[in-house]
Amino acid sequence: MSATAPIDSSLTDDAESLTASDVLTRMVERFHPRLFLACSFQQEESVLIDLLLRIEPNARIFTLDTGVLFPETYETWRTMEARYETEFEPWSGISLEQQAAEHGAALWEREPDACCAIRKVTPLREALSQVDAWIVGVRRDQAPTRANTPKIDWDAKHGIWKAAPLADWSERDVWRYIHQHDLPYNPLHDRGYASIGCTHCTVPAADRSGRWAGNGKVECGLHG
Ligand code: SF4
Protein backbone atom coordinates (compact mmCIF):
# COMPACT_ATOMS: atom_id res chain seq x y z
CA MET A 1 0.00 0.00 0.00
CA SER A 2 1.23 3.51 -0.78
CA ALA A 3 2.42 5.69 2.10
CA THR A 4 0.92 8.73 0.37
CA ALA A 5 -1.88 10.10 2.53
CA PRO A 6 -5.18 9.20 0.86
CA ILE A 7 -8.30 11.32 1.31
CA ASP A 8 -11.25 9.38 2.71
CA SER A 9 -13.76 11.72 4.28
CA SER A 10 -16.18 8.87 4.98
CA LEU A 11 -13.60 7.52 7.43
CA THR A 12 -12.33 10.66 9.05
CA ASP A 13 -14.69 13.64 8.69
CA ASP A 14 -16.89 13.07 11.73
CA ALA A 15 -14.51 10.76 13.59
CA GLU A 16 -13.99 13.17 16.47
CA SER A 17 -17.69 13.03 17.36
CA LEU A 18 -17.81 9.21 17.42
CA THR A 19 -17.84 7.10 20.57
CA ALA A 20 -15.17 4.46 21.01
CA SER A 21 -17.63 1.75 19.93
CA ASP A 22 -18.61 3.77 16.88
CA VAL A 23 -14.98 4.16 15.86
CA LEU A 24 -14.42 0.42 16.24
CA THR A 25 -17.57 -0.41 14.29
CA ARG A 26 -16.45 1.83 11.46
CA MET A 27 -13.02 0.23 11.37
CA VAL A 28 -14.44 -3.31 11.46
CA GLU A 29 -16.97 -2.60 8.70
CA ARG A 30 -14.32 -1.06 6.51
CA PHE A 31 -11.26 -3.21 7.16
CA HIS A 32 -11.88 -6.54 8.95
CA PRO A 33 -10.14 -9.02 8.55
CA ARG A 34 -7.32 -6.81 7.33
CA LEU A 35 -7.47 -4.99 10.66
CA PHE A 36 -5.30 -5.48 13.76
CA LEU A 37 -5.79 -4.35 17.34
CA ALA A 38 -2.39 -3.82 18.94
CA CYS A 39 -2.33 -5.21 22.47
CA SER A 40 0.45 -4.52 24.98
CA PHE A 41 -1.70 -5.54 27.96
CA GLN A 42 -2.19 -2.03 29.31
CA GLN A 43 -5.49 -1.07 30.91
CA GLU A 44 -6.61 0.59 27.67
CA GLU A 45 -6.36 -2.68 25.79
CA SER A 46 -8.57 -4.41 28.36
CA VAL A 47 -11.28 -1.96 27.30
CA LEU A 48 -10.58 -2.08 23.56
CA ILE A 49 -10.52 -5.87 23.41
CA ASP A 50 -13.87 -6.06 25.16
CA LEU A 51 -15.47 -3.42 22.95
CA LEU A 52 -14.00 -4.82 19.73
CA LEU A 53 -14.93 -8.46 20.34
CA ARG A 54 -18.52 -7.45 21.12
CA ILE A 55 -18.63 -5.98 17.62
CA GLU A 56 -16.64 -8.67 15.81
CA PRO A 57 -15.84 -11.88 17.74
CA ASN A 58 -13.26 -12.86 15.12
CA ALA A 59 -11.42 -9.55 15.21
CA ARG A 60 -7.65 -9.95 15.04
CA ILE A 61 -5.50 -8.95 18.00
CA PHE A 62 -1.73 -9.00 17.94
CA THR A 63 0.98 -8.43 20.52
CA LEU A 64 4.67 -7.69 20.25
CA ASP A 65 6.34 -10.35 22.35
CA THR A 66 9.74 -8.87 23.14
CA GLY A 67 10.69 -11.97 25.13
CA VAL A 68 11.22 -9.80 28.22
CA LEU A 69 7.68 -9.02 29.25
CA PHE A 70 6.68 -9.38 32.89
CA PRO A 71 5.35 -12.79 34.04
CA GLU A 72 2.17 -10.93 35.02
CA THR A 73 1.82 -9.70 31.45
CA TYR A 74 2.12 -13.23 30.04
CA GLU A 75 -0.45 -14.37 32.60
CA THR A 76 -2.82 -11.55 31.59
CA TRP A 77 -2.36 -12.66 27.97
CA ARG A 78 -3.47 -16.22 28.83
CA THR A 79 -6.37 -14.95 30.95
CA MET A 80 -7.71 -12.76 28.16
CA GLU A 81 -7.47 -15.50 25.56
CA ALA A 82 -9.41 -17.84 27.86
CA ARG A 83 -12.10 -15.29 28.65
CA TYR A 84 -12.76 -14.39 25.03
CA GLU A 85 -12.04 -17.84 23.58
CA THR A 86 -9.63 -16.41 21.06
CA GLU A 87 -5.91 -16.42 20.33
CA PHE A 88 -3.81 -13.32 19.99
CA GLU A 89 -1.20 -13.26 17.25
CA PRO A 90 2.36 -12.87 18.63
CA TRP A 91 5.03 -11.05 16.63
CA SER A 92 8.66 -11.10 17.70
CA GLY A 93 12.07 -9.88 16.64
CA ILE A 94 15.22 -11.96 16.66
CA SER A 95 15.86 -14.15 19.70
CA LEU A 96 17.49 -12.68 22.79
CA GLU A 97 20.44 -15.00 22.18
CA GLN A 98 20.89 -13.74 18.62
CA GLN A 99 20.62 -10.14 19.78
CA ALA A 100 23.30 -10.71 22.42
CA ALA A 101 25.57 -12.41 19.87
CA GLU A 102 25.19 -9.59 17.34
CA HIS A 103 25.01 -6.55 19.63
CA GLY A 104 26.39 -7.64 22.99
CA ALA A 105 24.68 -8.36 26.28
CA ALA A 106 22.03 -6.09 27.78
CA LEU A 107 21.59 -3.87 24.72
CA TRP A 108 18.62 -2.26 26.51
CA GLU A 109 21.03 -0.75 29.06
CA ARG A 110 23.42 0.69 26.49
CA GLU A 111 21.25 1.50 23.46
CA PRO A 112 17.53 1.26 24.27
CA ASP A 113 16.56 2.81 20.94
CA ALA A 114 18.45 0.06 19.10
CA CYS A 115 16.91 -2.60 21.32
CA CYS A 116 13.39 -1.22 20.74
CA ALA A 117 14.09 -1.12 17.01
CA ILE A 118 14.96 -4.82 17.01
CA ARG A 119 12.38 -6.10 19.48
CA LYS A 120 9.43 -3.77 18.78
CA VAL A 121 9.69 -1.53 15.73
CA THR A 122 10.80 -4.18 13.23
CA PRO A 123 8.23 -6.83 14.23
CA LEU A 124 5.54 -4.14 14.33
CA ARG A 125 6.38 -3.16 10.77
CA GLU A 126 6.19 -6.79 9.72
CA ALA A 127 2.82 -7.27 11.47
CA LEU A 128 1.32 -4.14 9.98
CA SER A 129 2.41 -5.14 6.49
CA GLN A 130 -0.33 -7.81 6.75
CA VAL A 131 -3.22 -5.36 7.21
CA ASP A 132 -4.76 -2.13 5.95
CA ALA A 133 -5.52 -0.57 9.34
CA TRP A 134 -4.71 -0.88 13.04
CA ILE A 135 -6.25 0.10 16.34
CA VAL A 136 -4.23 1.41 19.30
CA GLY A 137 -4.93 2.27 22.92
CA VAL A 138 -3.32 5.72 22.83
CA ARG A 139 -5.05 8.42 24.91
CA ARG A 140 -4.34 12.11 24.58
CA ASP A 141 -3.69 12.73 28.26
CA GLN A 142 -1.03 9.99 28.55
CA ALA A 143 1.82 12.23 27.41
CA PRO A 144 2.46 15.56 25.66
CA THR A 145 3.59 13.58 22.60
CA ARG A 146 0.05 12.11 22.38
CA ALA A 147 -1.99 15.28 23.01
CA ASN A 148 -3.11 15.72 19.41
CA THR A 149 -3.91 12.10 18.60
CA PRO A 150 -6.84 11.90 16.12
CA LYS A 151 -9.45 9.17 16.51
CA ILE A 152 -8.92 8.01 12.92
CA ASP A 153 -6.02 9.11 10.76
CA TRP A 154 -3.67 8.00 8.02
CA ASP A 155 -0.50 6.48 9.50
CA ALA A 156 2.10 7.67 7.03
CA LYS A 157 4.87 5.80 8.83
CA HIS A 158 3.27 2.43 8.10
CA GLY A 159 1.15 3.33 5.07
CA ILE A 160 -2.14 2.17 6.62
CA TRP A 161 -5.06 3.69 8.56
CA LYS A 162 -4.84 4.01 12.34
CA ALA A 163 -7.59 4.41 14.93
CA ALA A 164 -7.31 5.51 18.55
CA PRO A 165 -10.89 4.98 19.80
CA LEU A 166 -9.99 5.97 23.39
CA ALA A 167 -8.21 9.16 22.38
CA ASP A 168 -10.57 11.35 24.43
CA TRP A 169 -10.98 8.96 27.37
CA SER A 170 -9.43 9.78 30.74
CA GLU A 171 -7.71 7.17 32.87
CA ARG A 172 -10.76 7.31 35.15
CA ASP A 173 -13.02 6.47 32.18
CA VAL A 174 -10.86 3.44 31.43
CA TRP A 175 -10.98 2.08 34.96
CA ARG A 176 -14.70 2.75 35.26
CA TYR A 177 -15.32 0.60 32.18
CA ILE A 178 -12.99 -2.15 33.42
CA HIS A 179 -14.73 -2.39 36.78
CA GLN A 180 -18.26 -2.05 35.38
CA HIS A 181 -17.64 -5.02 33.11
CA ASP A 182 -15.36 -6.97 35.46
CA LEU A 183 -12.65 -7.18 32.81
CA PRO A 184 -9.29 -8.89 33.22
CA TYR A 185 -6.38 -6.47 33.48
CA ASN A 186 -2.67 -6.58 34.15
CA PRO A 187 -2.22 -6.88 37.94
CA LEU A 188 0.91 -4.73 37.76
CA HIS A 189 -1.42 -1.73 37.54
CA ASP A 190 -2.41 -2.47 41.16
CA ARG A 191 1.27 -2.40 42.15
CA GLY A 192 1.97 1.12 40.98
CA TYR A 193 2.72 0.61 37.29
CA ALA A 194 0.62 3.05 35.25
CA SER A 195 2.37 2.01 32.04
CA ILE A 196 3.82 -1.46 31.48
CA GLY A 197 6.53 -2.44 29.04
CA CYS A 198 9.53 -4.77 29.24
CA THR A 199 10.95 -5.92 32.58
CA HIS A 200 14.30 -4.21 31.96
CA CYS A 201 12.83 -0.80 31.17
CA THR A 202 9.77 -0.36 33.38
CA VAL A 203 9.60 0.76 37.00
CA PRO A 204 6.50 1.65 39.03
CA ALA A 205 5.27 5.19 38.32
CA ALA A 206 2.00 7.09 38.19
CA ASP A 207 2.42 7.83 34.48
CA ARG A 208 4.61 6.93 31.50
CA SER A 209 7.68 8.30 33.33
CA GLY A 210 8.13 4.73 34.57
CA ARG A 211 9.20 3.68 31.08
CA TRP A 212 12.97 4.03 30.43
CA ALA A 213 13.14 6.07 33.65
CA GLY A 214 16.21 8.28 33.88
CA ASN A 215 17.50 8.12 30.31
CA GLY A 216 15.25 10.64 28.52
CA LYS A 217 13.56 8.09 26.23
CA VAL A 218 9.75 8.50 26.22
CA GLU A 219 8.42 6.39 23.32
CA CYS A 220 9.26 3.00 21.78
CA GLY A 221 9.09 4.40 18.27
CA LEU A 222 5.79 2.63 17.61
CA HIS A 223 3.53 5.68 17.41
CA GLY A 224 5.88 8.50 16.39
S1 SF4 B 1 11.52 -1.55 26.20
FE2 SF4 B 1 13.65 -2.04 26.80
S3 SF4 B 1 13.92 -4.30 26.66
FE4 SF4 B 1 11.98 -3.70 25.60
S5 SF4 B 1 12.57 -3.54 23.47
FE6 SF4 B 1 12.74 -1.45 24.32
S7 SF4 B 1 14.86 -1.23 25.12
FE8 SF4 B 1 14.48 -3.43 24.68
Structural domain harbouring 114: 9-190
Query: What pLDDT score does 159 carry?
Result: 96
Which pLDDT tens digit goes with each residue over 49-86?
Answer: 999 999 999 999 999 999 999 999 999 999 999 999 99
| Buried-exposed string 103-115: b where 16+ CB fall within 10 A, e elsewhere | eeeebbeeebbeb
pLDDT of 224 over the 80 cut: no
In a domain, 200, yes or no: no
- Among protein residues, the one whose CA lies closest to atom 6 of ligand 1: 116
pLDDT value at 219 more than 80: no
Among residues 220, 221, 222, 224, the one annotated as catalytic is 220
Q: 111-153: per-residue pLDDT in tens?
A: 999 999 999 999 999 999 999 999 999 999 998 999 999 999 9
CATH code: domain of residue 72 = 3.40.50.620
The residue length of the chain stands at 224
Q: Say if 182 falls within a structural domain.
A: yes
Question: Does a structural domain hold residue 116?
Answer: yes
Whether 202 is in the pocket of ligand 1, judged by its Cβ within 6 Å, is no
Among candidate residues 47, 8, 6, 10, the one with its CA nearest the CA of residue 166: 47
Q: Is residue 24 part of a domain?
A: yes
Residue 205 lies in a domain: no
What's the total number of domains in the chain? 1
Does the C-beta of 196 come closer than 6 Å to ligand 1? no
Please confirm, yes or no, whether 39 is among the known catalytic residues.
Answer: no
